[in-house]
Chains A and B, each alone.
Chain A
Amino acid sequence: MGLLDSEIGKRRLLSIELPVIERYNDGRDALFKIQVLRVGSSLIMKYRLKPGHNIFQLETRLLSSYPTVPPETRVLTPLKHCPHLLEGQSLCLWRQGSTRMTSRWDPARFTCIFAVQAAWRWLACYEVWHETGEWPLPEAK
């Protein structure tokens, strides 16, 4: 199913994803609102998060194959190399094929806002790691 070029995809976008982004943006400072851009057959959400004292710029990409394929999130603000950080400053958030509910992306239960929340938690861990050298959460199985 294509997110932007199939009826199912468009219905998902209009009835689930865009309303939840509007709800997320409601009452939020302009600097921290999610902006949505279309790039080819993908949607890109651009936003900022501030888990501690630092503001990080991020983008989450919803590919044409979303929500079957989980969103991809990367941090645009330069980071120090750290655990759970992939090439291009992409965040390692979901374990593909995991049988554990706590570590896998479930398209039936989650929306794109879950990716934003997962990114916030990742950045909170990064803030701790930056000073202590220890990632504060254990790796999921």
Chain B
Amino acid sequence: MDFRPLNDTERRQLINALRGNAEHNRTILLDRRDTSFLGTADEVTDEEVITAIKSVPCHY
């Protein structure tokens, strides 16, 4: 696979979203069609819950 990296702004937004999720339980929103990163939110609607990432446990 030819890896296409994130640009600086995209990478910063993704890092902030990952840390906000891990440290402050902020929800990561994903595009329903293709799972791409959309942003973050404090609350998630019933409709979004299946596509969003909130309290998923992980080791790392």
Out of B21, B35, B50, which one reaches A49, CB within 8 Å? B35
Q: How many A-B residue pairs have CB under 8 A?
A: 120
A103 touches B5 (CB 8 A): no
Out of A27, A51, A136, which one reaches B35, CB within 8 Å? A51
Interface size class of A (residues with CB under 8 A): 35 or more
Interface size class of B (residues with CB under 8 A): 20 to 34
CB-defined contacts of B24 to chain A, threshold 8 Å: none
Q: Indicate if A41 sits at the interface (CB-CB under 8 A).
A: no
Out of A27, A32, A124, which one reaches B18, CB within 8 Å? A124
Given contacts A120-B35, A130-B5, A137-B18, contact A52 B10 (CB under 8 A): yes
Residues of A within 8 A of B (CB): 20, 23-24, 27-29, 31-32, 48-54, 77-78, 83-84, 92-95, 98, 101-106, 110, 113-114, 117-118, 120-122, 124-125, 127-128, 130-132, 135-140
